[in-house]
Structure 1
């Protein structure tokens, strides 16, 4: 899964409005910026905190998105290229998992009215990581068990 330019960079609320779905004008995490996929996944301070903690759990917090990172696909490509070959699959898995958890948490905020909560998003990520490992995500399991040096 790769988020690329084009439709992925579209304003999420505009797309939701066309489909008659609930759609906040601004990011449901920070309520400060327009809700775009790139903002939700790397631009928002909530997302950056989430990534920092999630990647810290496997010793890769130095790869967390920075305030200057405004494109999810560019950040992902950059960190994937920095990773050693033996870590790349695990890193890609944790990035996919993290993006999925941010999107699910966003949906809980929009559709179920919950307040953004880093701890809840991280618990969801931990539960999902366990399920992926049980399903055979070997590179993710290896990354989590200390191959990354964390």
Structure 2
């Protein structure tokens, strides 16, 4: 979708002065004239509401000025929630020390504490042994929330 690419570029520009922030995903949902634009940004040390607001203002101004979104739309800039899959290398690095649930491409599920992230793989500390999983083997990963 053309709009998503443009919004992705606008979001990258909006955070370009903040080295600790990174773009996770951009989604445009709904029908023309009544769309929801979702921009997910995260940071190495998290992201504040004020930072989300500032990014939203920058993107919104560009969308309006250049008439990128036809009709009505809603723009939301937020951090991805805990239920949002980890997709970027930088997100894995940020979550070292947390428990992950990893779905592999072959359908197998793995769980463990993320203890290391290399260029090509992650290492999970399991109940018995550490397990290395190549990124190409991973379909998706999620932080496992514990209520102990």
With the length of structure 2 as denominator, give the TM-score of the two structures. 0.30
Q: Which structure has the larger Rg over C-alpha atoms?
A: 2
| Structure of greater relative contact order (alpha carbons < 8 Å, 6+ residues apart) | 1
Structure holding more strand per residue: 2
Structure holding more helix per residue: 1
